Structure 1
Amino acid sequence: MQASMRLLLHSAVACAGGCLLTAAVPASAQTCQFLAPVGGNGVTDIITKTISPGNPLPFSRPNWNTDFFVTQPYSSYKLFFTANSSVSATYPIQAYLKFTDGSNLQVINDSYAPQTGTGRQWNVQAVPGKTVSQVNFKIGASGDQAATGFTYRISAQGCN
Structure 2
Amino acid sequence: MRPSLLNAAIAGVFASGATLAAPALVQAQTCQFLAPVGGNGTTNIVLKTVGSGNPFGRPNWNTDFFVTQPYASYKFFFTADSSVSATYPIQGYLKFTDGSSLQVINESFAPQIGTGRMWGPFPAIPGKTVSQLNFKIGASADQAATGFTYRISTMGCN
Same fold (TM over 0.5): yes
The aligned counterpart of 2:12 is: none
Give 1:1-160 correspondences, 5 Å limit. 23-55=22-54, 57=55, 59-123=56-120, 124-160=122-158
TM-score relative to the length of structure 2: 0.84
Deviations 1:114-135 (A, max 9, x none): 0000000001111111100000
Aligned residue type for 2:31: C
Distance across 2 between alignment mates of 1:25 and 1:121: 26
* Between 25-34 and 83-92, the greater mean CA deviation after superposition: 25-34
Q: Segments of 4+ in structure 1 off by > 2 A?
A: 22-25
Aligned residue type for 1:33: Q
The Cα shift of 1:25 comes to 4.0
Structure 2: any 5+ residue segments left out of the alignment? 1-18
Structure 1: any 5+ residue segments left out of the alignment? 1-19
The Cα shift of 1:151 comes to 0.2
Distance across 2 between alignment mates of 1:41 and 1:129: 32
Distance across 2 between alignment mates of 1:122 and 1:139: 14
Distance across 2 between alignment mates of 1:85 and 1:101: 37
Identity %: 76
Give the number of equivalent residue pairs.
139
